[in-house]
Amino acid sequence: MHKTCTCGQTMTMKLRTVIYSGKVEIDNVPIYSCPSCSRSEVLPEVKPDLTGLIGQLGEEPAKQTLLFNELNEWADLLLEASATRKTPNGAAVQQIVDERIDSLLELLLLAGSVGDETWRQDIEKRLAQLSRCTLHT
């Protein structure tokens, strides 16, 4: 997955570790990086969840390591895609996304049928995260 940098070079997406406040390591954050000018930026589709997480940690967080892929469906899918290919292409990611959406929709029906509102809300949140993305290939 690629994007054009402001310097004109191609940025590649990788799962990286973000360090917050020198104490919190947030692993598996999808970040575009430019090899030419060293510019980095968080994948726009996951940025709201990352900033929300940082907001929850507060100004004086305890030392800890968090897995962003456990909190964000895109990060989880990209981690899954990168497990089979070092740099997953858009088609491979799209296939995984389509499969995950189908799976989540089936789970949503199941959660509704058993009346589990908390589970249903979690699934709806995951589907909303997936609906934010526009793949850059």
pLDDT in tens, 4-56: 999 999 998 889 999 999 999 999 999 999 999 999 999 988 999 999 999 99
Residue 66 lies in a domain: yes
Tokens matching residue 118: 């908390």
Residue 19 lies in a domain: yes
Identify the residue with better confidence: 47 or 85: 47
Mean pLDDT value across residues 106-128 = 90
Residue 137 lies in a domain: no
Question: Facing residues of 20 across strands?
Answer: 24
Tokens matching residue 101: 């959406």
Q: What is the pLDDT of residue 93?
A: 75
Q: What is the pLDDT of residue 31?
A: 94
Q: Which residues contact 105 (CB under 8 A, 6 or more apart)?
A: 127
Check pLDDT > 60 for residue 137: no
3 state DSSP class of 67: strand
Does this model's pTM top 0.95? My answer is: no
Tokens matching residue 96: 């995984």
Q: What is the pLDDT of residue 136?
A: 44
Tokens matching residue 92: 């491979």
Count: domains in the chain: 1
Cα distances (Å, whole numbers) of residue 96 to 38, 46, 79, 83, 122? 29, 17, 11, 12, 19
Angle at 95 between CA 117 and CA 101, to 5 degrees: 10
Residue 20 lies in a domain: yes
Tokens matching residue 114: 């058993």
- From 103, 81, 101, select the one nearest 92 (Cα to Cα): 81
Residue 38 lies in a domain: yes
Mind listing the pLDDT tens digit for each residue in 48-79? 999 999 999 998 999 999 999 999 988 988 88
Range of the domain at 24: 2-132
